[in-house]
Amino acid sequence: MVFNFSLMFRMFFKSMVAYHETGARFTVKRVCFVILFPVLYIFQELVTWICLLSDEILFPGYRKVEVSRPMFIAGFPRSGTTYLHRIVDSDVKQFTSLKLWEILFAPSILQKKFFLLIGKLDRLMGKPLYKMAIQLENRIFADSRSMHKISFFEAEEDEIILVHIFSSLFLAFMFPFDEMNPFSRFDTDVSPAQRKTIMKFYQKCIQRHLFVFGPDKRFLSKNPASSSKINSIYETFKEAKIICLVRQPLEAVPSAISWMSYGLRKFNTADQSVINEKILSLVSHFYTYPIEQLSKRPEDCGIIETYGMLVSNPGAFVTNIYNRFGFDISESFQLFLDRETGKAKNYSSRHAYSLVDCGLTAEQVVNDFKPIFDRFGFPTG
């Protein structure tokens, strides 16, 4: 069975009777979530799965779409993966990515075509629905955009699409129980049969996207969660190219905790120490595992590079990737890269994240991620 019904029912049940296991408090916010989420989620998935099954009848040709040399960006959260994704995604003649509206509301071809038709009609009327959507997302995502720009119309982490089979690590924000932990160590902790089922669904989602938005294009994905799926990606996509970004842990760890704490607090109420422990247990593996696995592969399969190289000269960084993987750089994209490099020289981050505020010490981070400091020569002070 593709949809993980048993896990879904366990999580719904534990949310009602065993929430204390998470270390969080059962507040009014959590009560509302426990009541409303199952109703909305089940309704959404009934519609989605009717449309997915309809695709098999109405658009069977999608299964013949080849996913040729897709590119996956992985790495520890807050290591420049989003920045790199949005630069490469600007090469619209060559690459295409899943937008958030597609991921959440239109994984099927039928749904995509429906929303594209609505969008076309909306533009003829002066975009009233688009303007409403922008106002809505400005309210929903207002408190997160200082850390990460989120929009229904921007490319986003397509790990979220696995929510439609209740097999996504993103569900750990809503259900912070131990049963969700294997998804953070996908290659090693999820059974081979389940891995194959999940990756087959993901592959079909990509084929559906390419069927609508360009079967001649290369698919581009960015997910920190892909860091635990290196071998599963290569097994599913034989021509896959993977880029792993590595950032100084003393910078990345507090930034990741700050961002992921926001996600956990959206659905839960727990002490910061509990949140820190949960986050680190989920994502610490994302530092070492992809480096270990990519180091075993030929150079034309993947790249391991540092965040500092990306932000100091994004143009040269992307050019190196394209040369390594045999991708062409168009004249228009080269001009875009030149502009991005110019911006990077004048950019200064507005954010500073404190280890102390996260309940951590530099010594603890250096000890926990010692192989990273040793390999890349990051300063420990």
**CATH number assigned to the domain comprising residue 10:** 3.40.50.300
Residue 241 is assigned to a structural domain of this protein: yes
**Residue 347 burial by CB count (10 A; 0-12/13-18/19+): exposed, middle or buried?**
exposed
Q: CA-CA distance, 117 to 282, in Å (whole number)?
A: 40
Residue 110 is assigned to a structural domain of this protein: no
Q: Is the predicted pLDDT of residue 357 greater than 90, yes or no?
A: no
Do 159 and 225 form a contact (C-beta atoms < 8 A)? yes
Instruction: Give the list of residues 6+ apart from residue 187 with CB closer than 8 angstroms, or none.
Output: 195, 228, 229, 230, 231, 232, 289, 293
Residue 119 is assigned to a structural domain of this protein: no
Residue 122 is assigned to a structural domain of this protein: no
Q: Is the predicted pLDDT of residue 353 greater than 70, yes or no?
A: no
What residue ranges in the chain does DSSP mark as E strands? 71-75, 95-96, 218-222, 241-246, 302-306
pLDDT of residue 352: 62
pLDDT of residue 145: 64
Residue 48 is assigned to a structural domain of this protein: no
Across 149-176, average pLDDT: 94
Least confident of 5-19, 86-100, 144-158, 303-317: 144-158
pLDDT band at 25 (very low <50, low <70, confident <90, very high): confident
Residue 364 is assigned to a structural domain of this protein: yes
Which is nearest to 91 in space by CA: 338, 332, 340, 342? Answer: 332
pLDDT of residue 167: 98
Rg (CA), the chain: 21
What is the model's pTM? 0.94
What percentage of the chain's residues is helix, strand, coil (to nearest 5)?
Answer: 65, 5, 30
User: Does 354 or 224 have the greater pLDDT score?
Assistant: 224
Strand partners, 222: 73
Residue 247 is assigned to a structural domain of this protein: yes
Domain count, the chain: 1
Containing structural domain, residue 203? 5-25+67-98+155-376
Amino acid at 104: L
Residue 104 is assigned to a structural domain of this protein: no
